[in-house]
Structure 1
Amino acid sequence: MIPMLWEIIGNTSCIINHLSTAVVVIGCIFFFPYIGEDVKPFTPEKAREIVMSLQQPAVFCNMVGDWPALHWDVKHLSAMLDGKTIQFRIGLKTMDLVPQFETSCSYVKATLEQFLAWSSGQPSCLSGPFSCFKHSKYWAYADYKYIARIFEDKEEVFQDVRWSDFGFPGRSGQESTLWIGSEGANTPCHLDSYGCNLVLQIQGRKRWHLFPPGDTSFLYPTRIPYEESSVFSKVNVANPDLKRFPEYRNATAHVVTLSPGQVLLVPRHWWHYVESIDPITVSINSWIELDADHEARVEEAVTRTLVCALKSAESSSDGDPWLNPTEVEATSHEINLQYLNQAVSAYFKCQKANVPEQAHPSSSGAQQETRASRKRKRQVSCETEDCQLLNHEFSSSTFKAEKLQKVPFGPHLIQVLPQSQETSSVGAGAVASDDRDLLHENEGGHFGKLHCTRKQLLMSNDCRTPANQMDSDSSPNASQAALSTNDLLDCLVNPHVIRLVAQLLLERARV
């Protein structure tokens, strides 16, 4: 092989004239596989540290080159599914001032082979499931497709997804979700109540518009349509109605175009609007659990109880599509209250596990010191987590953990900066709002979404043990009485809550 290569080089004038380039080519082809083919820019421990600590979006490069899942383009997936149909959400390509929520879309069941034919404009689609939707006017999106469900008879494919490289051993395709879309397919702007998000792009490109938690009030959040763990924005980010939503002018979009082989980190409570910009896109994501999720589940349980109670009291003939298609049905008050109690139990179990055992204080002074210490910890947690949404305090350089002293931004971890900060130090495509890709040459520095089913009520810390199988420490006991409907109502009609609700209703009436 070596003599043949030198012969080729000798016959190729362009390479002879650029000998240094030829040497690089030789090094890449012949030496790289033997001196660290599996070497990645970050160890699993370092990658996990970044994922769990970084409070701004970033793109990992050169971390998944050996993942078999990189071959999961639509043709490959079509062969894997072997004629199995999946549901596609259909939306209009025309840009309206109102977001295209899932409740306003059409739905069809089709094979990936039929999807490929339709997306390429083949005449055979005139009689297929997409026959009512012209490819030039509509987009199709197979979203929220849980790999564990669609490949339940082919569990071996779970290992094609290796989140262990990011420091999460045992996490594979079984804990991941598949997304397949045509050009224009999009997800309305929303934030996820739980966890942070890792997204692998496989085929085509997607453009992400991300907003920090501090922009929440500028994005006009809503829970209708209702979906557990998703808070939607009333603003169509792609075509905002500034007359109706003037505060959106104050929002700061971080825009990035994700290309195949790159992995995007979406930190906790970052808003995101996602759109496919190539004819066909395929991506895989996994939501990573965080300790803060336990408190979020309590909030979600309260929200579900209220929404289901109020909306189920309406006339069934009003035609109000309030429940997102990702939610199977409105659950009963009994189930919702049980879910709320399980969420509260899990929260206190997590709190107990995170507080180290201390000797019983022998004086009131010691007790006060312990309480003060705990109060400070809670205040710090509030400042770095949930209170960002209420106080709108956000800094792109804030981290959850102090151990991440310096973020290793560079060619392997690209910072996603605000749209107005497209400087040369970040790279030509890292934060651009146009169609350019991220550059590796950058020289700069429902199932719930965590696979915790509502029907299982709540999961334990590892998100795998159903709540009804938890140990006795997680169940209500003498020191933690079960919450009743009256307890919930007493909190809901608290004067502070009523005052806030009245203010929100008055603000809505002014629009």
Structure 2
Amino acid sequence: MSWLCEDVKPFTPEKTKEIVMSLQQPAVFCNMVGDWPALHWNVKYLSAVLKGKTIQFRLGLKTVDLVPQFETSCSYVEATLEEFLTWSCGQPSCLSGPFSCYDYSKYWAYADYKYIAKIFEDKPEIFQDVRWSDFGFPGRSGKESTLWIGSEGANTPCHLDSYGCNLVLQVQGRKRWHLFPPGDTSFLYPTRIPYEESSIFSKVNIANPDLKRFPKFRNSTAHVVTLSPGQVLLVPRHWWHYVESIDPVTVSINSWIELDADHGARVEEAITRMLVCAIKSAENPSDGDLWLNPTEVEATSHEINLQYLNKAVSAYLKCQEASVPGQAHCSSTGANQRTNASCKRKRRELGCEPESCTLLTQECDFPTPKAEELQKIPFGPHLILVLPQSHQTSMMGEVAAESGGGDLLHENEREHFGKSHCKRKRLLMSNDCETAAHSMDSGCSPCTSQTALSTNDLLDCLVNPRVISLVAQLLLERMGV
């Protein structure tokens, strides 16, 4: 029996925030959310709360290909949680209804990136069931959080988020996370096709890597953890991640925490948007060239993109002017430290355009902590570091952090992956039966000739994160920074 009382946390909010803002390796918090009402948010409960309201599900094939199953290769349906729950139990109920064309044994379904503020807009009292104030962020609740509901196998391609760090609460079922450090970026073959602001995708299907085409992936180091109900995972800034539901039904809640480095990242994202939209919009459209992620709705014009870039640079400069002399960044604290990072998809999801997005933050990345700094972090049964694995181990095993315990367990089992991302229209996608999940090229299919370069090949070089970082640096130097 734990010595902790139900209402006593292992860390104070102040200490938890210190850990979240300083730790640059993924870790799992245990025994921090035992009194959160959100722990009761299983699909059956949420179905009763929503009372027949439909939400959008993304459907993909359970078969594992050499090419990542991007959102542009999925189908979408509108369904109630009750319909989803019946389907996910494998019942042949779906002789009619939204899931009728999708055999549960062949498909997974994912209601991903669902902003709680929008789904429960008529029930704002439910926002208080999520209490990120316990993690040192007063006032942050379900209103600034996102809901994820999936069936077994539901996943998204491996990617990193340009903005913020991520706190993820597991509510129902288990999810397996495959995380790779920022230093592994070149081994993961980054691409901006399909394009969406704030998400840099990997060309590698982590579940079934094509090592002939992507040999450097052998040099990557996976940090793998199975997240169980009641645990909270910290995903540090710019850590790549591939996430898969491994139980019949899973529910997660997350919130992106803005960081001082987000402001510089917004300048880089604005440059990337200008280049991608300009080049892809000028290209003659070809059948199946679904370069725009569904979340982006439409390709923005050059004028709008230039306006976005100028506003990002202007906000960056204001931040620099407000910073303490001698410091390389400015900080956002207290009530001002809100969901700026969630502008990730929320900017388009909730209609926040570039001119209305609040750009709070800064410039430089947090340095990698030294060994002595890590020693100051209170790792133990309540804070479990997600340890690195050799590539061979990561392909066949996992590190699991079990609830309420500090033991890291190893499982030998073949990994199957994927993740989520979607929440907008079924733009450019087929919604017909049995046509979901044809793998999109996105520059991922092998070239027939070494000299047959495509537009996407060029873009992969032009908007490579290292190149964009240098361009942003030169641009800001031009502005006198």
TM-score normalised to structure 1 length:
0.70
Q: Distance in 1 between the 2:51 and 2:365 partners?
A: 50
Q: Which amino acid aligns with 2:177?
A: W
**Residue 377 (structure 2) pairs with residue 407 (structure 1):** yes
Report what 1:138 is aligned to.
Answer: 107
Q: Deviations over 1:262-311 (max 9, x none)?
A: 00000000000000000000000000000110000000011111111111
Q: CA deviation at 1:123?
A: 2.4
Aligned residues: 384
Report what 1:273 is aligned to.
Answer: 242
Counterparts in 2 of 1:435 and 1:118: CA distance versus 1, 3 Å: farther
Q: Is the 8 A contact 1:200 1:263 kept in 2?
A: yes
Deviates further, 339-348 or 312-321: 312-321
Q: Distance in 2 between the 1:113 and 1:73 partners?
A: 12
Task: State the secondary structure of the residue aligned to 1:225.
Answer: coil
Q: Distance in 2 between the 1:264 and 1:375 partners?
A: 29
**Residue 397 (structure 2) pairs with residue 433 (structure 1):** yes
Counterparts in 2 of 1:421 and 1:303: CA distance versus 1, 3 Å: closer
Deviates further, 172-181 or 305-314: 305-314
Q: Deviations over 1:207-265 (max 9, x none)?
A: 00000000000000000000110000000001100000000000000000000000000
Q: Give 1:69's match in structure 2, choosing from 38, 60, 68.
A: 38
**Residue 192 (structure 2) pairs with residue 223 (structure 1):** yes
Deviates further, 404-413 or 66-75: 404-413
Q: Distance in 1 between the 2:318 and 2:61 partners?
A: 46
Q: Is the 8 A contact 2:382 2:405 kept in 1?
A: no
Identity %: 80
Q: CA deviation at 1:420?
A: 3.7
Q: Which amino acid aligns with 1:219?
A: L
Q: Distance in 1 between the 2:12 and 2:256 partners?
A: 20
Report what 2:134 is aligned to.
Answer: 165
Report what 2:389 is aligned to.
Answer: 419
Structure-to-structure mapping, 1:248-259, within 5 angstroms = 248-259=217-228
Q: Is the 8 A contact 1:291 1:350 kept in 2?
A: no
Q: Is the 8 A contact 2:323 2:329 kept in 1?
A: no
Q: Distance in 2 between the 1:84 and 1:374 partners?
A: 50
Counterparts in 2 of 1:437 and 1:375: CA distance versus 1, 3 Å: closer
Structure-to-structure mapping, 1:338-487, within 5 angstroms = 338-356=307-325, 384=366, 397-398=369-370, 406-420=376-390, 433-434=397-398, 438=402, 440-442=404-406
Q: Which has the higher contact order (CA 8 A, sep 6+)?
A: 2
Q: Is the 8 A contact 1:410 1:443 kept in 2?
A: no
Report what 2:56 is aligned to.
Answer: 87
User: Which stretches of structure 1, 4 residues or longer, exceed 6 Å deviation after superposition?
Assistant: 374-377, 402-405
Q: Deviations over 1:401-441 (max 9, x none)?
A: x9876010000000100124999xxxxxxx99348552533
Report what 2:20 is aligned to.
Answer: 51
Q: Distance in 1 between the 2:26 and 2:35 partners?
A: 24
Q: CA RMSD in A?
A: 3.0
Q: Is the 8 A contact 1:257 1:432 kept in 2?
A: no
**Residue 147 (structure 2) pairs with residue 183 (structure 1):** no
Task: State the secondary structure of the residue aligned to 2:149.
Answer: strand
Q: Give 2:95's match in structure 1, choosing from 113, 126, 130.
A: 126
Q: Distance in 2 between the 1:281 and 1:130 partners?
A: 18
Task: State the secondary structure of the residue aligned to 1:126.
Answer: coil
Counterparts in 2 of 1:225 and 1:37: CA distance versus 1, 3 Å: same
Counterparts in 2 of 1:298 and 1:118: CA distance versus 1, 3 Å: same
Task: State the secondary structure of the residue aligned to 2:93.
Answer: helix
Report what 1:116 is aligned to.
Answer: 85
Q: Distance in 1 between the 2:150 and 2:68 partners?
A: 17
Q: Deviations over 1:366-397 (max 9, x none)?
A: xxxxxxx66899xxx86745xxxxxxxxx6x5
**Residue 112 (structure 2) pairs with residue 148 (structure 1):** no
Report what 1:307 is aligned to.
Answer: 276
Q: Deviations over 1:41-80 (max 9, x none)?
A: 0000000000000010000000000000000000011111
Q: Which amino acid aligns with 1:406?
A: K
Q: Is the 8 A contact 1:49 1:404 kept in 2?
A: no
Counterparts in 2 of 1:383 and 1:162: CA distance versus 1, 3 Å: closer
* Structure with greater helix percent: 1
Counterparts in 2 of 1:443 and 1:421: CA distance versus 1, 3 Å: farther
Q: Which amino acid aligns with 1:134?
A: D
Structure-to-structure mapping, 1:211-250, within 5 angstroms = 211-250=180-219
Counterparts in 2 of 1:436 and 1:44: CA distance versus 1, 3 Å: closer
Task: State the secondary structure of the residue aligned to 1:127.
Answer: coil
Q: Is the 8 A contact 1:209 1:273 kept in 2?
A: yes
Q: Is the 8 A contact 1:221 1:233 kept in 2?
A: yes
Q: Is the 8 A contact 2:224 2:399 kept in 1?
A: no
Q: Distance in 1 between the 2:329 and 2:158 partners?
A: 34
Q: Is the 8 A contact 1:53 1:404 kept in 2?
A: no
Q: Which amino acid aligns with 1:290?
A: L
Report what 2:29 is aligned to.
Answer: 60
TM-score normalised to structure 2 length:
0.74
Counterparts in 2 of 1:414 and 1:132: CA distance versus 1, 3 Å: same
Q: Is the 8 A contact 1:69 1:160 kept in 2?
A: yes
Q: Is the 8 A contact 1:61 1:440 kept in 2?
A: yes
Q: Which amino acid aligns with 1:248?
A: F
Task: State the secondary structure of the residue aligned to 2:179.
Answer: strand
Q: CA deviation at 1:331?
A: 1.2
Deviates further, 327-336 or 50-59: 327-336
Q: Deviations over 1:450-491 (max 9, x none)?
A: xxxxxxxxxxxxxxxxxxxxxxxxxxxxxxxxxxxxxxxxxx
